[in-house]
Structure 1
């Protein structure tokens, strides 16, 4: 294991530039992009370093109206202390119209990564960029700045949960084909921390996607190696070369179900959690094209992006900076299996429980209060909608398939009592053949109380969610929440407990991580039943991997869910029959068909 480092060491390293960006705002004089590497004593040699390359590709991110972060990693094949890397940004792909360029040094202390905050750019413009080192050039990347002033349309994509051993990144290859996106939001779980043979690895060997390192990620070297493996993926490289991303982390960039002081997937024998978290954060900032809210503080990633007068996007951290530990249903079960509902409701509604932390929450309230944009958009990790399901489903006393069938039989039975003539002949035959399944035990399962199915989501922090929604309501915000994490697609109306509509939520399926089709055995035909079970749920896809495209105009916000037929093969097609669109009109805060 690498030598542990303290929080103080981390802050000192952040201030010194670990994962920080070099500022570039204009053209410099001629520079020698083929200069040799530094030797072990720090002197520069004139001999070319054989094997220097940009094998991990390039990337851009955190676009503003006048600047974009550009990123690369240089790979030396011999031992050196530092490398000189230059960059160019131009208006054209042939680099005849240079806008900014420069050079810097990168070292092993930052994993030979390079981040440049390329400024001096024009708003709503497309640019091209590349890097050079030791006579070798990177691929050419394309990026786009944000618009200013009066804006007629903003188009974003959203993704989440890119799990390398679970399948190919076909979803990223599809997004790379889009030419009209302003940016792509990565809503967390860019990598997964598990060892070989861990979560969703059953077919990894057959697909040639066994993780590196093969053990669980604990140290800075471990996290760096896993990022490096992801960034060797051809579809990941193509995706990053074509579009700027706006990322936030979720839990798997550190460990499963991370909270402020620990994680479900961190045990005491694995060392200090704080050291592991800081190592993971450093690797994240080295490998992702992201700038912190405050330079030198890589723990604070909540930040805002303005798309002219149309959209204000607020990227949140609902995972690391402030989150209290998740509640656990096991703590409310008695020895006889009874559930202490009153204790649970008191804890889930505790006003002191937080996902965001007080400082971030005050920042967000300030953003919502002062914004004058038409749409207020939250990019964040976990589901915000109220996703309460019958307790019998959550405790797995009954499968969703069986529950849906029993509920249908019960519905027919009730309808037969009220108005038998309303049933078709086929329905009457079905009821006659199945009515005996409505036993007392079955009815008890159907009538079990509804409770939140995921306490790692906003349902486990209900009081803070209510305050957030009330703040949006008070400021007459047209609120759109974009969420990831669950591996399935959802669309929710967001309402206060008093019943007033506040906004809508569009939640994206995963890039490759399996969803309910694997761990609950659900099928597409179960999806309408799920929508009926959850009060404010308007749409779900429980079986497919894909992404969202969200288009904002002054009148509407439209989400379109798109899905790949498989992630287990490089041969796939887009599932046009599973594509779905919903929208919200300005000043309505309710979902309707698009």
Structure 2
């Protein structure tokens, strides 16, 4: 079935289910067959394996706190004439009336339809798929991150269902924690997308309400009903720039203990996402692996809460008074992003896997996004005076000309240009120390492990809201793999922070200055579609023309390939 018709079919099924479920009046008490619970947030599936998949929904009687007794059903046909699997479950108040079941006994590489029932009343119908059996020759998956409700419509979610992707990978920032009027909310009132609750999310009730709002979005519901999702969180599911024992967007003196906020956020995430919970005693442990028929092994990582050390401040590296100490911290052999336990687990998973492609699904850019200090020190965001902007532009121009001259006519380099290209006199630093550039030793250990194992490595990343593809290299320049980064679903990217710089010029600067970078789009929203064959990993970016209107066009002309 073509993906366009698949999406339309799922929409029709959802509409029929909603009509079927609205025949009886909603009452304020649970129980009898005449009481119809509401399935307001649709259905979802996730964490597929070859013989099972997680199924999710939310069910509640209108205005009541009664548990809802449900039956879940899985079938190979949309009419549910012959059930493949079924069972009972309860949507309980203690889990905010969400319910998750692990539907087992399924066949590998098969499409299935699923639904939840309460008496004669049915949820919308969803479609899911198990992981393929050994010997699969091709795989298509959609990769996405950073869906900000007040920023605009989730048009990219809808577009995922129009591709040939059979699985989805969500790399975090499924919600944003800010209050109404906060980050990316300039058009929220006009679009009818004001954050709920109005306050910043701090309590379990706050986070639950925010997930409910995001799941109420029609494009989100269609997307989640169309295919299984494999997800991890990033920082905004909890608080901006969170690390193991702190966060940029949390003040304990006014917002309470960060540990309490984190516990509430993680409980809500595990309730509202169709994921297995690997360790109920520690909800932070969400790293897990999926084998796609021996073609691709997908290892999903946690890089925020378990072990991430506090990021080094960029200003500390540029300030002569603090540079030495900051550089020592940055290059420490004990500095960690994912932690020794998780790193050891990943090394074991890759060593044991016979899959052609080893794919890391994680939150932040792993590739080196390094700029020369001459440029970084001249680009001071706190000084936007005409003279400062001119100095910044001159620093960029000088470096790019020197680099170009070295490539085409090195004999013509002046002494000043040679100094600009000298890594001792003008060293390079990662511009985003919240990413793997801020944890260089652990990155080197991870990439060296993959190199020694002889694995074909692909890394997927989100977080930046923009599209990138880069070589993954060791400190000695050896190429180990390729990174593909997805743009955001709706969160603003560099085009907002570099508003005075045309996107084409920003792209030119990044590609000119960053040695490992091979593709960049710094201005558009969308998602990444990854396809894998035994000989090639290919990323194709799907960009929507706007998130401010439900009328838009799609550009899927940009792609990058990697053969390993």
The interval holding the TM-score normalised by the smaller chain is 0.7 to 0.9
Matched-pair contact (CA < 8 Å) for 1:35–1:133: no
Matched-pair contact (CA < 8 Å) for 1:322–1:356: yes
Matched-pair contact (CA < 8 Å) for 1:37–1:45: no
Matched-pair contact (CA < 8 Å) for 2:495–2:523: yes
In the TM superposition, residue 220 of structure 1 has moved relative to its aligned partner by: 0.3
1:564 aligned onto 2:544? yes
For structure 1, which segment, 520-529 or 128-137, has the greater mean C-alpha deviation from structure 2 after superposition?
A: 520-529
CA distance in 1, matches of 2:219, 2:182: 23
Superposition RMSD on alpha carbons, in Å? 2.8
For structure 1, which segment, 411-420 or 53-62, has the greater mean C-alpha deviation from structure 2 after superposition?
A: 411-420
Match of 2:467 among 489, 493, 501: 489
Q: Deviations over 1:206-228 (max 9, x none)?
A: 11000000000000000000000
In the TM superposition, residue 292 of structure 1 has moved relative to its aligned partner by: 2.2
1:49 aligned onto 2:35? yes
Match of 2:495 among 493, 517, 524: 517
The match for 1:323 is 308
Matched-pair contact (CA < 8 Å) for 1:259–1:323: yes
- The alignment of Structure 1 onto Structure 2 pairs a total of residues equal to 520
Counterpart mapping for 1:138-537 below 5 A: 138-178=123-163, 180-268=164-252, 269-295=254-280, 297-332=282-317, 334=319, 338=320, 340-389=322-371, 390-392=375-377, 395-396=380-381, 407-408=396-397, 449-521=427-499, 522-526=501-505, 527-537=507-517
Matched-pair contact (CA < 8 Å) for 2:486–2:528: yes
CA distance in 1, matches of 2:88, 2:157: 30
Note closer, same or farther for the CA distance 1:149–1:454 as it changes in structure 2 (3 Å cut): same
Give 5+ residue unaligned stretches, structure 2: 1-22, 410-415
Matched-pair contact (CA < 8 Å) for 2:28–2:62: no
For structure 1, which segment, 167-176 or 392-401, has the greater mean C-alpha deviation from structure 2 after superposition?
A: 392-401
Name the SS for the 2:51 alignment partner: coil
Q: Deviations over 1:4-60 (max 9, x none)?
A: xxxxxxxxxxxxxxxxxxxxxxxxxxxxxx9999998xxx7437335x211111000
In the TM superposition, residue 181 of structure 1 has moved relative to its aligned partner by: 2.1
Give 5+ residue unaligned stretches, structure 1: 1-33, 421-437, 587-594
For structure 1, which segment, 78-87 or 124-133, has the greater mean C-alpha deviation from structure 2 after superposition?
A: 78-87
CA distance in 1, matches of 2:427, 2:403: 20
Counterpart mapping for 1:6-25 below 5 A: none
In the TM superposition, residue 106 of structure 1 has moved relative to its aligned partner by: 2.1
CA distance in 1, matches of 2:519, 2:451: 23
Q: Deviations over 1:254-292 (max 9, x none)?
A: 000011112110101211111110100000011000002
CA distance in 1, matches of 2:52, 2:390: 51
Q: Deviations over 1:525-573 (max 9, x none)?
A: 1212211110101111000001111111111101111100011111111
Note closer, same or farther for the CA distance 1:135–1:331 as it changes in structure 2 (3 Å cut): same
For structure 1, which segment, 407-416 or 253-262, has the greater mean C-alpha deviation from structure 2 after superposition?
A: 407-416
Match of 1:136 among 117, 121, 139: 121
Structure label with greater radius of gyration: 1
Q: TM-score with structure 2 length normalisation?
A: 0.87
1:574 aligned onto 2:558? no
CA distance in 2, matches of 1:417, 1:557: 32
Note closer, same or farther for the CA distance 1:549–1:45 as it changes in structure 2 (3 Å cut): closer
Matched-pair contact (CA < 8 Å) for 2:471–2:517: yes
CA distance in 2, matches of 1:393, 1:161: 30
CA distance in 1, matches of 2:26, 2:68: 5
In the TM superposition, residue 104 of structure 1 has moved relative to its aligned partner by: 1.7
CA distance in 2, matches of 1:414, 1:149: 48
In the TM superposition, residue 370 of structure 1 has moved relative to its aligned partner by: 1.5
Matched-pair contact (CA < 8 Å) for 2:158–2:223: yes
CA distance in 2, matches of 1:361, 1:419: 42
CA distance in 1, matches of 2:114, 2:184: 36
Matched-pair contact (CA < 8 Å) for 1:38–1:82: no
